[in-house]
Structures are given as C-alpha cells and as structure tokens.
Amino acid sequence: MTDFTINSMHIIDAAPSLSGTRVLASYDLTIVGITMKGCIITESPDGIASARGLLGKTNKGDKISAQFTDPTLARAITRKAVEAYNALTGRDVNDE
C-alpha cells in the first residue's frame, strides 16, 4: 500500500445539492511526493461518505480534476479522511 497523509482539513458541511449529495469537507492529500490541495469528502443521499480527488475550473472555465483510480487506495484514503472528519466534528459519518 502506498503511504499517504491527510493534511489541512477544512469542514464545509454544505447543504445537499439537487442530487442530494453534500460536500462535508476539503483536505490536502500528500502521496508519493505530490500534494493535491482541495480534495473533498462527499456524503451521498444514503448517508455514505467517500473521498474524492480535487475538482475545479480554470479562470477560463476549463474543468480540472484528479481521481483516485486504484480502488484499494481510494478505499484507504476514504477511510482515513472520514476518520479525520469524524474526529474533528464529533459526528459519526459512515464510509461503507
């Protein structure tokens, strides 16, 4: 398993979108010498949280993103990010 670190978590707890998904927090992820700033934890309408890579737009409106493509790594990142979120907020958000 690749080592990684969750850094600088910022609690958002946004209202649900039209689809019912809400952004819980943003965080920075350091992995293999790379830091990705602005990764997020989302909560689906059924109450399951998951970690996502960064998502945004350039000043010209072009979409930019990073995705976790290895399912095992994505699961480990989700678990660690949700643990940090739960510790910071006192909530008990589920990640599976």
Q: Which tens digit of pLDDT belongs to each residue from 76-86?
A: 999 999 999 99
* Residue 41 in domain: yes
Collapsed DSSP state (helix, strand, coil) of residue 52: strand
Place of tokens 């910071």: 88
- Does pTM top 0.75 for this prediction? yes
Average pLDDT over residues 50-67: 92
Q: Is residue 83 part of a domain?
A: yes
Report yes or no on 37 lying in a domain.
yes
Closest by CA position to 7, among listed 36, 33, 32: 36
Give the count of domains, the chain. Answer: 1
**Does residue 94 lie in a domain region?**
no
Range of 46's domain?
Answer: 4-89
Alpha helices in the chain (DSSP H): 71-89
Assess if residue 65 is contained within a domain.
yes
- Whether 16 maps to a domain, the answer reads yes
Q: Distance between CA atoms of 81 and 45, rounded to whole angstroms?
A: 19
Classify residue 33 as left (phi > 0), alpha (psi -120 to 50) or beta. left
User: What average pLDDT does range 6-20 have in this prediction?
Assistant: 96
